[in-house]
């Protein structure tokens, strides 16, 4: 187990630096409040230096050129292998930093390495096209890296969300300034060390640490940034989009969700119950795609609640490094208070509490940000719990009578990130998934995510897609070139 508190520095232009005013932030374990790291608190000066380093690496080196694509791919694969070599350290660090069970962190590290390999494979495949046009022209379309990108990632998947953005940007030939969450910067700083070890050139990857109001705002408003990629809350996403609009910058936003899980009476309830519990409770419910609104056909409504509640009440709560733990703390005391306020609101609105609803008792929970996994039943569309994203271990159950009603309830949200459908009827599944307005839909499962497929949502869940071939597209510009093959005079004048 990692037991030494480390002092970190930011990575800018191939150098490890402190903040110019020497301000720092303490990073603590949300399970017990223990100090695990100290990081710099970036000022606008460090943001400017990081952008300048990325700008220089993009404008004055061959990093993004087409003839360097194979080298980029090889460096990315080397980074993936380095990550695998250090997998245990990274998994433990993410668990200590954000609280999730170790088994989840181990999966995140493996997925991160695979993501680097996947996009390394695309680095040499940003193909253009030739087009037949009139006027004796040779016309073509080429794809080029978009430039210097600002990337801001959240605290719920510190390493994985970082790699989701770093990998396609590197493959495309962009240079990067990344700001991880001020709560969970450690694994991204450790990843920066690996980029240095494998030989990714100075200035290509730059990591700044600090709060959104200072470092994040300076980054997204910087005139030398060509694209902004942000994952986080919808309210902050609106601010990022406003900044992008002022600078006419390309933007990718992956925001919130209030995701429905539709359970029909013909579903295999023996197989479905654990998936349903996993939909809402994985990573303490701190997932933008969490299936927190469970919509159940009335004839099996009480049975589904009973089955899921039986699973949820047996989830082992504790420090993510402890044996058998499947739910850790939420990220902070502020998040704990926020989630508890939603629980109290649901109680006040007369939603029926099935299980949980309190802070767990016991010495092992006293210093951490733990919340009992909680289920409410009889939640109606006008209730707060039906409408607002909680981002914690809280699930709501609502009944429906007909397929049409199920679809209407599923779409009754300002978000559109993800959804789940449970049914043994193939035809019903196809009918329903075609009508639900969400970017990701699972049938008879929930949460599996693949590097090969696009990730993103409809409505207020964001703009653009990550992962798959769509992920690299987000970091490429499209250029039209027309070459005149006619050596004669134009004759226009």
* Cα-Cα-Cα-Cα dihedral sign, residues 458, 464, 467, 469: positive
- Catalytically active residues are 254, 288
What is the share, in percent, of the chain residues with pLDDT greater than 90? 97
How does pLDDT run across 282-306, given as a tens digit for each residue?
999 999 999 999 999 999 999 999 9
Assign 315 a pLDDT band (cuts: 50, 70, 90): very high
How does pLDDT run across 218-258, given as a tens digit for each residue?
999 999 999 999 999 999 999 999 999 999 999 999 999 99
Give the position of tokens 């779409």: 411
How does pLDDT run across 146-198, given as a tens digit for each residue?
999 999 999 999 999 999 999 999 999 999 999 999 999 999 999 999 999 99
How does pLDDT run across 447-487, given as a tens digit for each residue?
999 999 999 999 999 999 999 999 999 999 999 999 999 98
Assign 4 a pLDDT band (cuts: 50, 70, 90): low
For residue 97, pLDDT over 80 is answered with: yes
Q: Give the model's pLDDT for residue 64.
A: 97
76-110 residues labelled b (16+ CB within 10 A) or e (exposed): bbbbbebbbebbeebbbbbbbbbbbbbebbbebbb
Assign 2 a pLDDT band (cuts: 50, 70, 90): low
Once rounded to an integer, what is the mean pLDDT over residues 397-424?
A: 98
Once rounded to an integer, what is the mean pLDDT over residues 92-97?
A: 97
Give the position of tokens 């002092």: 7
Beta strand ranges found along 411-491 (DSSP E) = 415-416, 418-422, 440-443, 458-459, 462-463, 476-484
Lowest mean pLDDT among 133-137, 251-255, 350-354, 461-465: 133-137
15-31 residues labelled b (16+ CB within 10 A) or e (exposed): eebbbeeeebbebbbbb
Q: Give the model's pLDDT for residue 390.
A: 98
Angle at 407 between CA 403 and CA 412, to 5 degrees: 145
Q: Give the model's pLDDT for residue 5.
A: 78
User: Does this model's pTM top 0.75?
Assistant: yes
Structure tokens at 383: 């209730």
By three-state DSSP, how is residue 173 classified? coil
Q: Mean pLDDT, the chain, as a whole number?
A: 97
The residues near 278 (Cβ < 8 Å, ≥ 6 apart) are: 446, 447
Q: Give the model's pLDDT for residue 273.
A: 98
How does pLDDT run across 260-276, given as a tens digit for each residue?
999 999 999 999 999 99
In this predicted model, which residue has the larger pLDDT, 3 or 61? 61
Q: Alpha helix locations (H) across 63-101?
A: 69-85, 87-98
Once rounded to an integer, what is the mean pLDDT over residues 331-337?
A: 98
For the sheet containing 440-443, what is the strand order? Answer: 352-355, 374-377, 394-400, 291-297, 259-263, 418-422, 440-443
For residue 53, pLDDT over 60 is answered with: yes
């Amino acid at each position: 187990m990692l037991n030494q508190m480390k002092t970190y520095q930011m990575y800018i232009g191939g150098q490890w630096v402190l903040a110019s005013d020497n301000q720092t932030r303490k990073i603590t374990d949300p399970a017990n409040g223990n100090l695990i790291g100290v990081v710099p608190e970036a000022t606008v000066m460090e943001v400017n230096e990081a952008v300048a380093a990325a700008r220089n690496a993009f404008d004055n080196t061959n990093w993004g050129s087409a003839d360097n694509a194979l080298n980029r791919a090889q460096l990315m694969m080397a980074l993936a292998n380095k990550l695998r070599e250090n997998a245990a350290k990274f998994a433990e660090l993410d668990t200590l930093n954000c609280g999730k069970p170790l088994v989840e962190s181990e999966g995140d590290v493996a997925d991160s390495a695979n993501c680097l390999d996947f996009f390394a494979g695309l680095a040499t495949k940003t193909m253009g096209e030739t087009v037949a046009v009139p006027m004796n022209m040779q016309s073509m379309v080429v794809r080029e890296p978009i430039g210097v990108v600002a990337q801001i990632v959240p605290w719920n998947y510190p390493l994985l969300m970082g790699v989701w953005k770093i990998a396609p940007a590197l493959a495309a030939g962009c240079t990067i300034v990344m700001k991880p969450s001020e709560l969970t910067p450690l694994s991204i700083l450790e990843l920066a060390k690996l980029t240095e070890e494998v030989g990714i050139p100075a200035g290509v990857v730059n990591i700044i640490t600090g709060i959104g109001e200072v470092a994040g705002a300076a980054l997204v408003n910087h005139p030398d940034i060509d694209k902004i990629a942000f994952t986080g809350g919808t309210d902050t996403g609106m601010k990022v989009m406003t900044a992008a609009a002022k600078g006419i910058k390309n933007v990718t936003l992956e925001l919130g969700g209030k995701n429905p899980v539709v359970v029909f009476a013909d579903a295999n309830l023996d197989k479905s119950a654990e998936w349903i519990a996993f939909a809402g409770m994985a990573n303490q419910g701190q997932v933008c795609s969490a299936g927190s609104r469970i919509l159940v056909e009335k004839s099996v409504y009480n049975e589904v609640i009973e089955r899921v509640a039986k699973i949820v009440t047996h989830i082992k709560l504790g420090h993510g490094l402890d044996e058998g733990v499947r739910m850790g703390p939420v990220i902070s005391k502020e998040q704990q208070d926020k989630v508890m306020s939603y629980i109290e609101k649901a109680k006040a609105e007369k939603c029926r509490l099935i299980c949980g609803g309190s802070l767990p008792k016991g010495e092992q929970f006293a210093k951490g940000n733990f919340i009992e996994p909680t289920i409410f039943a009889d939640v109606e569309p006008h209730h707060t719990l039906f409408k607002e994203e909680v981002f914690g271990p809280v699930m709501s159950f609502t009944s429906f009578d007909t397929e049409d009603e199920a679809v209407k309830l599923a779409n009754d949200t300002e978000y559109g990130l993800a959804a789940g459908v449970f049914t043994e009827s193939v035809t019903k599944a196809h009918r329903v998934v075609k009508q639900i307005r969400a970017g990701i839909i699972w049938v008879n499962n929930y949460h599996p995510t693949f590097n090969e497929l696009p990730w993103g949502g409809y409505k207020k869940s964001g703009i653009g897609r990550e992962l798959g071939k769509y992920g690299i597209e987000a970091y490429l510009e499209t250029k039209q070139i027309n070459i005149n093959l006619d050596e004669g005079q134009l004759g226009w004048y």
